[in-house]
């Protein structure tokens, strides 16, 4: 029982303590700041051993226990670690991140305060075509002429909108109404508190190459901070989640066919993983294509 243990002390990470209050710049005007944290790798182990009991302490070292928890998706102990961030980010990025509901958020209120004249203009080379495979994402860069026109239009629209915004405020329009005229390229700010389990789930999605680049940049800063707070847990996350591969029942059937000498295409056909459309054209997405991509990942040097 807890009463029989040594007196509790708040676990700290000196490297993480040095990060508190430090601004990590993202994009043109954005940043990520670690405001505070609670717990570390030791807190994960402490929570897990409440379930296992003191008698198991010699059976597995702390690193091995954390890796076991991650590997077998025992998520509750990771919820014992919490991190609180201050983030400044474009509204269109914030609206992606807000979809991750298992966090506590308090956002800058444009009803009470005037929005600063800061908007995100994509860097040269960052304007992309609509992806042919990913209906919600970008693909190859647009031509220099298209990019120049878009960046010019965006800058003009933002500047004209902010002039209209400040003019409306000067004429007595309420801030809560005047803000409606500003584009989503303008910045917002919030406190964002999350437990480690849900942060790692967020990172598994937003570090993915299919995520929007601007959001990936914020995820990368959050990842660096999380790695500092709980390095052993983050190492396990990188190995078993970010670098891990899952295989569906059909994909396992395809692997068995590969082991008996079938070609990848034949293995897909045998397992019911389609690679061709009804008109005979090669598919550019779908379960079969994704399985072949997994095989390419396995072939690539680590």
Q: How far from the centroid of its chain's Cα atoms is residue 117's Cα?
A: 27
CB 179 within 8 A of CB 165: yes
Q: Which two tokens stand for residue 284?
A: 């550019």
Overall domain count for the chain? 3
| pLDDT value for 34 | 98
217 CB-side CA count, 13 A: 18
3-state class (DSSP) for residue 42: helix
**Is residue 118, in this structure, part of any structural domain at all?**
no
Residue burial 173-183, b: 16+ Cβ < 10 Å; e: rest: eebeebbeebb
Query: CA–CA separation, 220 vs 294, rounded Å?
Result: 23
| pLDDT value for 1 | 47
| pLDDT value for 282 | 92
Q: Which two tokens stand for residue 126?
A: 């960052």
**Is residue 84, in this structure, part of any structural domain at all?**
yes
| Residue ranges of the chain with per-residue pLDDT less than 70 | 1-8, 51-60, 133-137, 302
Q: Which of 206, 277, 297, 299 is catalytic?
A: 206
| pLDDT value for 52 | 54
Are residues 284 and 176 part of one domain?
no
Q: Which of 242, 257, 290 is the last residue of a domain?
A: 242
Are residues 272 and 156 part of one domain?
no
159 is catalytic: no
CB 215 within 8 A of CB 96: yes
Tell me the residue range of the domain where 283 lies.
249-299
Are residues 221 and 100 part of one domain?
yes
**Is residue 121, in this structure, part of any structural domain at all?**
no
> Whole-model pTM?
0.89
Q: Which of 162, 181, 200 is the last residue of a domain?
A: 181
Per-residue pLDDT tens digits for 223-252: 999 999 999 999 999 999 999 999 999 999
183 CB-side CA count, 13 A: 17
**Is residue 123, in this structure, part of any structural domain at all?**
no
* Full DSSP string of 146-167: HHHHHHHHHHHHHHHHHHHHHH
Which stretches within the chain are classed as H helix? 14-17, 41-52, 62-71, 91-97, 144-170, 175-178, 196-206, 213-229, 231-237, 249-259, 264-271, 287-299
| pLDDT value for 59 | 42
**In the 8-state DSSP scheme, what is residue 280?**
S
| pLDDT value for 285 | 87
| pLDDT value for 139 | 76
């Amino acid at each position: 029982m807890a009463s029989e243990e040594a007196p509790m002390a708040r676990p700290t990470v000196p490297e993480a303590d040095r990060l508190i209050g430090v601004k990590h710049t993202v994009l043109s005007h954005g940043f990520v700041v670690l405001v505070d944290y609670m717990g570390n790798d030791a807190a994960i182990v402490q929570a897990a051993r409440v379930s296992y009991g003191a008698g198991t302490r010699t059976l597995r070292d702390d690193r091995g226990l954390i890796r076991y928890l991650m590997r077998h998706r025992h998520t509750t102990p990771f919820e014992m670690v919490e991190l609180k961030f201050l983030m400044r980010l474009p509204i269109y990025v914030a609206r992606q991140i807000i979809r991750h509901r298992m966090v506590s958020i308090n956002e800058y209120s444009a009803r009470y305060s005037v929005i600063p004249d800061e908007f995100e203009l994509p860097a040269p080379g960052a304007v992309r075509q609509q992806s042919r495979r990913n209906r919600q994402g970008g693909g190859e860069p647009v031509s220099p002429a298209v990019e120049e026109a878009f960046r010019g239009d965006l800058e003009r629209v933002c500047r004209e909108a902010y002039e209209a915004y400040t003019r409306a405020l000067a004429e007595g329009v309420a801030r809560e109404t005047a803000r409606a005229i500003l584009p989503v390229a303008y910045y917002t700010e919030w406190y964002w508190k999350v437990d480690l389990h849900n942060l790692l789930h967020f990172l598994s999605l937003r570090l993915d190459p299919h995520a929007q680049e601007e959001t990936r940049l914020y995820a990368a800063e959050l990842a660096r901070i999380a790695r500092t707070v709980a390095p052993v847990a983050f190492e396990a996350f990188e190995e078993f989640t970010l670098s891990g591969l899952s295989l569906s029942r059909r994909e396992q059937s395809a692997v068995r066919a590969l082991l008996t000498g079938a070609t990848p295409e034949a293995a897909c056909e045998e397992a019911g993983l389609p690679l061709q459309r009804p008109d005979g054209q090669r598919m550019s997405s779908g379960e079969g294509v994704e399985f072949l991509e997994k095989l390419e990942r396995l072939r690539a040097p680590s």
